[in-house]
Amino acid sequence: ETGVTQTPRHLVMGMTNKKSLKCEQHLGHNAMYWYKQSAKKPLELMFVYSLEERVENNSVPSRFSPECPNSSHLFLHLHTLQPEDSALYLCASSRSWTSAHEQFFGPGTRLTVL
């Protein structure tokens, strides 16, 4: 499989649940990103990882916890979310954090928090 994949594609969870979103890239890239896209709002950058180290955290609440075990995989662990966290969560990758002219995006996970 090529490109950037995300699982699951759709997720419904209660406010007390714990779930994880998974992203995998098969492009040999060293940088990976999480974005959030809420209804009627622009994409917001949440986290950036470069060579498995977090290099950017855009004031994201602690109920979102990223993990990057290697340069091909990125997770977003979710716990005690709020209904306003319902959104499309997009993962992206680029060759590197400092050579990021082109980011490749996955299809996203549509999250609904009840």
Sites of contact with another protein (CB under 8 A): 4, 31, 33, 42-45, 48, 56, 90, 92, 94, 97-108
Q: Specify the residue, 83 or 101, whose C-beta has the smaller distance to another protein.
A: 101
What are the beta bridge partners of residue 84?
Answer: none
55 dihedral zone (left: phi>0; alpha: psi -120 to 50; beta):
alpha
Q: Tell me how far, at minimum, the Cβ of 15 lies from another protein, in Å.
A: 25
Q: Specify the residue, 64 or 97, whose C-beta has the smaller distance to another protein.
A: 97
Q: Specify the residue, 75 or 105, whose C-beta has the smaller distance to another protein.
A: 105
Structure token pair of residue 95: 């060759």
Q: Tell me how far, at minimum, the Cβ of 16 lies from another protein, in Å.
A: 29
Q: Tell me how far, at minimum, the Cβ of 92 lies from another protein, in Å.
A: 7
With contact defined as beta carbons under 8 Å apart, do 20 and 111 qualify? no
Q: Specify the residue, 66 or 106, whose C-beta has the smaller distance to another protein.
A: 106
**CB proximity list for 108: less than 8 A, separation 6 or greater:** 6, 9, 37, 88, 89, 90, 91
Structure token pair of residue 26: 């098969």
Q: Tell me how far, at minimum, the Cβ of 104 lies from another protein, in Å.
A: 7
Distance CA 70, CA 51 (A): 7
